[in-house]
Amino acid sequence: MKCFYKRKGMGNGLIIAFLLICMAAFAPQALAHDAATRIRHLEQSLQAIQAELEKLKSENAQSAQKVQNIERTTNQTAEKVDTVQQSNVVLKERIEPIVSRSEQRHRMLFFRGGFTHMMNHRNGVTIQNQVLPIGAQDRADRNGWYIGAGLDWSLTDDVWGVLPNTSIFAELMFEYKEFGHNIEGNGAVGNAPSMLAGGELNPIHVTVNQFTLTASPKVKFFEGSKLRPWIIPAGLAIHVLSPPTESITYIQPGVQFGAGLDYHLWKNFYIGIDGRYQLTAGKIDGVNLSGMTAGGYLGIGF
C-alpha cells in the first residue's frame, strides 16, 4: 500500500514536471505572439496619428492659404477704397464749383434808388423859355433823385468759352428822375391865365422830371463768388423828358455806361451799389440830357 502511494506520487510529479516543461517550451512563443500583436497595434496607432498629423498639416496649410487670400483680398479692398476716396476728392473738387455756380441765381429783379445829376440846366415849353421870355423864367436845379427797377438775365457763365468765371447778363432797366416839383412856370404857357391873354403874373408849379429806359449788356466777374463787380461797357438809353423842349420834343436817345458791385446777402437776396453815366449826342432842340446817377439797389434772384 505504501508502495502504491509512492508510485502514485511519483506519477503526479512526473505530470507536473511535464506540464512545467511544456509551459517553459511554449511560453516564449506566446509572449512573442503577444508582443507582436501589441507592436502591430502600436504601429497602427502610430500610422493613425501620422495620418491625423498629415491631415492637420493639410488643414493648416489650407487655413494659411485662406488667410493669405483674405489678406490679399483685404489689401485689394483697401486699395480700391483709397482709389475711390481719391476719386471722390477729385470729383468733389470738380463738383463743388459746379454746385456753387448752380446756387448762383441766373436772373435778378432789382430795385434802385439814389442821387442823380444833370450836366446841363434844363429849359422847356413851360419853364424857362427863350422863345417866349414872359413872366417867371424859373428853372430846376441840376441835382435830383431817382428810383427805378430792372431785370438781369444771364446769357453765359464764361463769355461763351472765352473767359472763365465771367458772366454776361442782359439788363433791361427803367428809372424815374426828378429835379424839382415847385418850379414856377413861364408867363406864356405856365401862367394861369396866360399872360399872352392879358393875365397877371400867376405862375403855376411845374415838375421837372425824366423817364429813362435802357437795354444794356452787363459783364459780371468772379462767377461763384459772393462779391461780384460788374461793368456796362455801353448800352442803349431812351430818355423821355418833361416838360418838353421849346419845340415840343420829349424823347431823346443816348448811350449808357455803368459799373457796380453785387453782394449775395442771404438766400435769394442781393444788395449792391452802382454808378451810371448817360451820354446824349449834344443838344436836341436846346436841351442836353447827359447826366449820371449813383446809388444802391436790392436784388431778388430767381
pLDDT at position 298, please? 98
Taking only the tens place, the pLDDT of each residue in 245-258 is 988 888 999 999 99
The pLDDT assigned to 26 comes to 54
Q: How far is CA 268 from the centre of its chain?
A: 14
Q: Which residue has the cell 444788395?
A: 271
The mean pLDDT of the chain is 86
Phi and psi torsions of 286, nearest 5°: 85, 5
Give the Cα separation of 290 and 270 in Å (integer): 29
- Predicted local distance difference test score (pLDDT) of residue 72: 85
Return the higher-pLDDT residue of 104 and 293. Answer: 293
pLDDT: which is higher, 285 or 264: 264
Contacts of 107 (CB under 8 A, 6+ apart): 151, 152, 153, 154, 301, 302
Q: What is the pTM of this model?
A: 0.66
State pLDDT tens for residues 50-59.
Answer: 888 888 888 8
9-29 mean pLDDT: 61
How much is the pLDDT for 69?
84
pLDDT recorded at residue 67: 81
Q: What average pLDDT does this structure show over 191-203?
A: 90
CATH number for the 105-301 domain, one of 2.40.160.20, 3.40.50.920, 3.40.50.970, 3.30.465.10? Answer: 2.40.160.20
What Rg do the C-alpha atoms of the chain give, in angstroms?
57
pLDDT per residue as tens digits for the range 237-247? 999 999 999 88
pLDDT-based confidence at residue 86 (cuts at 50, 70, 90): confident
The span from the CA of 300 to the CA of 109, in Å, is: 5
| % of the chain surpassing 90 pLDDT | 52
Q: Report the distance separating Cα 153 and Cα 157, nearest Å.
A: 11
Buried b (16+ CB within 10 A) or exposed e, 138-177: bbbeeebebebbbbbebeebeeeeeeebbbbbebebebbb
Grid coordinates given for 226:
459772393
Q: Quick one: which of 243, 244, 252, 260 has its CA closest to 294?
A: 260
Half-sphere exposure (Cβ direction) of 253: Cα atoms closer than 13 Å: 3
Least confidently predicted of 51-60, 139-148, 192-201: 51-60
The residue among 207 and 285 whose pLDDT is bigger is 207
Q: Output the pLDDT for position 187.
A: 84
pLDDT class of 102 with cuts at 50, 70, 90 = very low
- The pLDDT, as a whole number, for residue 20 is 65
For residues 84-102, one letter each, b for 16 or more C-beta atoms within 10 angstroms of the residue's C-beta and e for the rest, the string is: eeeeeeeeeeeeeeeeeee
Q: Where does the chain show beta strands of DSSP type E?
A: 107-118, 143-156, 166-184, 205-221, 227-242, 251-266, 269-279, 291-301
Is residue 206 within 8 A of residue 187, CB to CB? The reply is: no
* Burial of residue 65, with CB atoms counted within 10 A of its CB: 0-12 exposed, 13-18 middle, 19 or more buried: exposed
Q: Is the pLDDT of residue 13 over 70?
A: no
How many whole angstroms separate alpha carbon 176 and alpha carbon 226? Answer: 29
Model confidence at 5: pLDDT above 80: no
pLDDT at site 280: 93
4 band by pLDDT with thresholds 50, 70 and 90 = very low
Q: How far apart, in whole angstroms, are the C-alpha atoms of residue 17 and residue 181?
A: 165
Question: Per residue in 166-189, pLDDT tens?
Answer: 999 999 999 999 999 999 999 888
Q: Residues of the chain with pLDDT > 70: what percent? A: 84
